[in-house]
Amino acid sequence: MKIFITGIAGFLGSHLADRMIALGHEVMGVDSLIGGEQANVPENAEFAIADCANLTAMTKHMAGCDIVIHSACTAYEGLSVFSPSLVTQNTFQITSTLLSAAIQNKVKRFVFCSSMARYGSQEIIPFTEDMICNPEDPYGIAKHASELLIKNLCKVHNMEYVIAVPHNIIGNRQKYDDPFRNVASIMINMMLQGKQPIIYGDGNQMRCFSFVDDCISCLEKTAFLEGISGEVFNIGPDEEFVTINQLAELIADIIGFKLEPKYMPSRPQEVKLASCSANKARKMLGYKTTVPLREGLTELVNCIKKAGPKRFRYHLDVEIISPITPQTWTNKLF
């Protein structure tokens, strides 16, 4: 088949392209390079630098493709509260454009990489796919709105769709010089420079972290498995639910760093407890956690060591500056 991948120069998109090529499929990918690196694009993939909001370009590049895997996004939960225009444009609007292009090109299936931000705060942990979405930030709202649009247009125009919910993915090629996202990579980059990590709030926020290879094995099936159109799948582990404090301690132990973290005020709208059940993916997609957290973090540390720590690049504009805007961004503290 011919697979169209958005965000192919990014962390998740490039790994998806590698897997699809290894399976013998033809891959066409696009990326605006707002958060990706062209060096991540596999040599055997056809590639175009293009903005997913450009309908003419998307319709042209998608021609002849059988399946769309939409992984492109400015995936910034915290920043979306202060840069809502940027984040929603590159979340909801690009999804709308890609749906139009896919329908015009008679694509068979549209796979959407959503986010656990769709759930927001819930009374029950871990989150399950049948819960009513309650997003708490513009990014989560844009992801949820994208899902509603996908369901609507795919039903009207008879295109299959699957919604995947990967979360907190770590691994090789993850950007670690981005001060706005990827907490594990930020901490590793800082510690390797001899700097103490910065933690928002009391550090007792809890998350699970997914090693990229475990996610790819399931995302592959969402593209091809019959009988799953219209389904939503959480993709990632639910076994190791850790606080941000514990994450910092684990990374420091792996690196051999004396940890004395700096604490900053909590970020507005940050969900305290966020973990997704993998039971549905286990049952229908054969999901299995093969890489435990420490092993995944160790590989990430080694990858960043090999590439070399970098200065953080404040490459996105903070649209709203107010007393509650995190000083880490306004004063460039990372």
> Which pLDDT score is estimated for 54?
98
User: In terms of domains, do 128 and 6 share one?
Assistant: yes
User: In terms of domains, do 137 and 31 share one?
Assistant: yes
In a domain, 327, yes or no: no
> Which pLDDT score is estimated for 18?
98
In a domain, 176, yes or no: yes
Question: Residue 252's domain is classified under what CATH number?
Answer: 3.90.25.10
pLDDT tens per residue across span 131-169: 999 999 999 999 999 999 999 999 999 999 999 999 999
> Which pLDDT score is estimated for 116?
97
This model's pTM is above 0.75: yes
> Which pLDDT score is estimated for 169?
97
In a domain, 281, yes or no: no
User: In terms of domains, do 179 and 226 share one?
Assistant: no
User: In terms of domains, do 228 and 260 share one?
Assistant: no
pLDDT tens per residue across span 211-239: 999 999 999 999 999 999 999 999 999 99
> Which pLDDT score is estimated for 327?
96
> Which pLDDT score is estimated for 216?
97
User: In terms of domains, do 70 and 179 share one?
Assistant: no
Q: Where are the alpha helices (DSSP H) in the chain?
A: 11-22, 55-61, 77-80, 84-88, 94-104, 138-157, 183-192, 212-224, 244-255, 279-285, 293-307, 327-330
pLDDT (average), residues 167-180: 96
In a domain, 320, yes or no: no
Among 52, 303, 192, which Cα is nearest to 60's?
Answer: 52
pLDDT tens per residue across span 32-69: 999 999 999 999 999 999 999 999 999 999 999 999 99
User: In terms of domains, do 220 and 202 share one?
Assistant: no
pLDDT (average), residues 258-285: 97
Q: Which domain, by its residues, includes 306?
A: 170-207+239-274+289-314
In a domain, 334, yes or no: no
User: In terms of domains, do 71 and 194 share one?
Assistant: no
What's the structural domain count of the chain?
A: 2
> Which pLDDT score is estimated for 305?
97
> Which pLDDT score is estimated for 233?
98
The dihedral formed by the CA atoms of 73, 237, 228 and 138, expressed in degrees to the nearest 10: -30
pLDDT (average), residues 84-97: 98
User: In terms of domains, do 24 and 54 share one?
Assistant: yes
d(CA 144, CA 232): 12
